[in-house]
């Protein structure tokens, strides 16, 4: 697996470079990503960071993703933290994350007031009758995509089933389930990779 | 009031730290706590909030801010939002730095591969929580299945499906 390598962005040998973003650039880029990111923020983040500002190449963006996905929290917020840090240190991270969340926070609070006021109006009921099945369908499609992306073996099937039973059926707390299944899954995959390596050595 | 805010703070921070593979992974646990344990929102409101925020811009999981709003008003929404953002950002800040210096890719790969099926299981729970709330009504069931199929098979930006869903609802095609 390749790890995010962005350090060479700083080096003079780096691609047809573009000036390093300052705090203002970071804030406005991530503010716009937060504001425009309808239906999944990642495509918008790519458009902004790779196509428009050229702070990253497509490859660097792709290399940043596995780490952003591994870390807890929304991927795009992790990207903001990491890029902010790499370009402008701790303040950069604060500014990028703050910019990202500013508009969504204001909009969500506005939605809270709107729901308190019109939550029981007939028009809201009609709107939700259409929105709820779509939201459900989107979650189902994500599950389907991810299931088909997993290797088809017993280890993966057992971990998916164990997680579903623990949370969905037994209703155990998430912290407990992750504390047990996270290390267990890591150990299983580590062992599998180890066996693969020693088998390769024997041949 | 203060105890509700503290409760929101602790749990929102916890969910943000446990959100492996995105905020939706924590959905079933949020439902368990916010609906079953604390009664901050009803099952129906819970699904409603997630559907509404699906249609709004921004990162996943802003729905917890609406749960905070319902539990303790504006202060609740702000506390929940900050608690959702700060802890996971701190982890991302320090861990990414550590990973870049270490390059210990075998361990990272094992963690990533081990967590991938767990994330899928958690998302399946989220789908189950949502599907349970759908009324047994032909239009809604068809729309759910159609959305899942289109989003699975094609690469449309999901916002268009949300727009179509909203339009079908407002036109009372789906009730």
**Cβ-Cβ contacts under 8 Å for B138 (sequence gap 6 or more):** none
Q: Answer yes or no: do A164 and B125 touch at CB < 8 A.
A: yes
- Chains A and B form CB pairs within 8 A to the count of 371
Q: Which helix (H) or strand (E) holds A119?
A: none
Q: B112 and B159: one domain?
A: no
Phi and psi at residue B154, in whole multiples of 5°?
-120, 175
Give the structural domain span for B166.
134-175
Partner-chain residue, chosen from B18, B54, B107, that has the shortest CB–CB distance to A175: B18
Do residues B114 and B158 both lie within one domain?
Answer: no
Distance separating alpha carbons of residues A134 and B50, to the nearest angstrom:
11
B7 shares its domain with B48: yes
* pLDDT score of B33 more than 90: yes
- My answer on whether B119 and B149 are in the same domain is no
Helix axes A23-36, A75-118, angle to 10 degrees: 50
Q: Do A100 and B59 touch (CB under 8 A)?
A: yes
Q: Are residues B78 and B8 in the same domain?
A: yes
Q: How far is B88 from chain A (nearest CA, A)?
A: 6
Q: A42 CB near a chain B CB, below 8 Å?
A: no
Q: Is B82 on the interface with A (CB under 8 A)?
A: no
Tens digit of pLDDT for each residue in B44-89? 899 889 888 877 887 878 999 999 999 999 999 999 999 999 999 9
pLDDT recorded at residue A19: 65
A109 → closest Cβ in B16, B69, B161: B69
Span B3-17, average pLDDT: 94
| Interface test with chain A among B95, B101, B120, B152, by most A beta carbons within 10 Å | B120
| DSSP secondary structure of A1-35 | -PPP--GGGSSTTSTT--PPP-HHHHHHHHHHHHH
Residue of B nearest to A177 (CA): B118
pLDDT average per 10 residues of sequence, chain A (203 residues): 39 48 94 80 83 88 81 90 94 96 94 91 90 89 86 93 94 92 94 85 73
- DSSP 8-state code for residue A108: H
Quote the pLDDT of residue A74.
86
User: Are residue B33 and residue B86 in the same domain, yes or no?
Assistant: yes
Both B45 and B94 in a single domain? Answer: yes
Q: What angle do CA A183, A85, B8 make, to 5 degrees?
A: 60
What integer pLDDT is reported at residue B158 of this predicted model? 81
Q: Supply the pLDDT for residue A11.
A: 39
Query: Chain B: residue nearest A148 by CA?
Result: B120
> Is residue A99 within 8 Å of A26, Cβ to Cβ?
yes
Same domain? B7 vs B60: yes
Q: Residue A10's pLDDT is what?
A: 42
Q: What's the mean pLDDT when you consider all of chain B?
A: 89
Residue A122 to residue A141: CA distance in whole angstroms: 29
Q: Does A196 touch chain B (CB under 8 A)?
A: no
What's the complex ipTM? 0.84
Decide: A74 and B61 in contact? Cβ < 8 Å: yes
Best A104, A140, A144 residue to mutate vs chain B (most B CBs within 10 Å): A140
Asked if B6 has any chain A CB less than 8 Å from its own CB, the reply is: no
* CB contact set of A115 (below 8 Å; sequence gap of 6+): A124, B48, B49, B52, B66
pLDDT band for B1, please (50, 70, 90 cuts).
Answer: confident
Contacts of A136 in chain B (CB under 8 A): 127, 130-131, 133-134, 144, 147-148
Q: How far is A34 from chain B (nearest CA, A)?
A: 5
d(CA B129, CA B101): 40
Same domain as B148, residue B111: no
Closest CA to B16 of A57, A97, A17, A20: A97
pLDDT band at residue B91 under the 50/70/90 scheme: very high
Name the token pair of A58.
Answer: 């497509």
The structural domain count of chain B equals 2
Q: Please provide the distance, in angstroms rounded to a whole number, between the alpha carbons at the two ends of chain B.
A: 38
Q: With an 8 Å Cβ cutoff, are B52 and A138 in contact?
A: no
Report whether pLDDT(B42) > 80: yes
Give B37's Cβ-side CA count (13 Å radius): 14
Same domain, B105 and B38: yes
pLDDT > 90 fraction of chain B, expressed in percent and rounded: 53
Pair B77, B65: CB distance under 8 Å? yes
Q: Does A102 touch chain B (CB under 8 A)?
A: no
The pLDDT assigned to A47 comes to: 84
Indicate if B67 and B144 belong to the same structural domain.
Answer: no
| List of E strands, B44-135 | none
Asked if A121 reaches chain B (Cβ–Cβ under 8 Å), the answer is no
Q: Which pLDDT belongs to residue B104?
A: 65
Q: Coil, strand, or helix at residue B9?
A: helix
Q: Which residue has better confidence, B24 or B37?
A: B37
* pLDDT at site B17: 92
**Cβ neighbourhood burial of A90 (10 Å; 0-12, 13-18, 19+):** exposed
Q: Helices (H) and strands (E) in chain B — how many of each?
A: 7, 0
Least confident span in A11-15, B126-130, B165-169: A11-15
Do residues B126 and B158 share a domain? no
CB B26 within 8 A of CB A175: no
């Amino acid at each position: 697996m390749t790890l995010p390598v962005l350090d060479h962005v700083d080096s003079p040998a780096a691609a047809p470079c573009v000036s390093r973003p300052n705090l203002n650039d970071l804030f406005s880029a991530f503010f716009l990503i937060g504001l425009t990111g309808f239906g999944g923020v990642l495509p918008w983040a790519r458009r902004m960071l790779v196509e428009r500002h050229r702070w990253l190449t497509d490859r660097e963006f792709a290399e940043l993703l596995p780490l952003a996905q591994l870390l807890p929290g929304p991927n795009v917020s992790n990207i903001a933290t990491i890029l902010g840090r790499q370009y402008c240190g701790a303040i950069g991270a604060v500014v990028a994350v703050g910019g990202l969340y500013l508009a969504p926070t204001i909009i969500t609070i506005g939605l809270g007031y709107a729901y308190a006021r019109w939550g029981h109006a007939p028009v809201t009921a009609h709107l939700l009758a259409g929105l709820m099945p779509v939201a459900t369908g989107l979650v189902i499609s994500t599950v389907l995509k991810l299931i088909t992306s997993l290797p088809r073996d017993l280890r993966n099937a057992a971990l998916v089933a164990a997680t579903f039973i623990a949370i969905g059926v037994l209703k155990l707390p998430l912290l407990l389930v992750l504390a047990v299944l996270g290390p267990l899954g890591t150990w299983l995959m580590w062992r599998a990779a180890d066996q693969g390596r020693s088998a390769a050595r024997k041949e | 009031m203060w105890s509700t805010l503290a409760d929101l703070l602790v749990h929102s921070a916890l969910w943000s730290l446990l959100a492996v593979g995105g905020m939706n992974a924590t959905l079933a646990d949020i439902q368990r706590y916010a609906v079953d344990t604390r009664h901050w929102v009803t099952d129906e409101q819970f699904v409603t909030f997630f559907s509404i925020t699906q249609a709004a811009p921004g990162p996943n999981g802003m729905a917890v801010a609406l749960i905070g709003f319902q539990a303790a008003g504006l202060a609740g929404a702000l506390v929940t939002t900050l608690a959702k953002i700060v802890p996971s950002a701190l982890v991302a800040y320090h861990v990414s730095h550590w990973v870049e210096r270490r390059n210990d890719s075998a361990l990272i790969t094992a963690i990533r591969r081990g967590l991938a099926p767990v994330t899928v299981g958690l998302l399946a729970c989220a789908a189950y929580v949502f599907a349970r709330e759908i009324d047994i009504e032909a239009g809604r069931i068809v729309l759910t299945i159609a959305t899942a199929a289109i989003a699975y098979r094609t690469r449309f930006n999901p916002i268009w499906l949300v727009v179509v869903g909203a339009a079908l609802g407002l036109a009372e095609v789906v009730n």
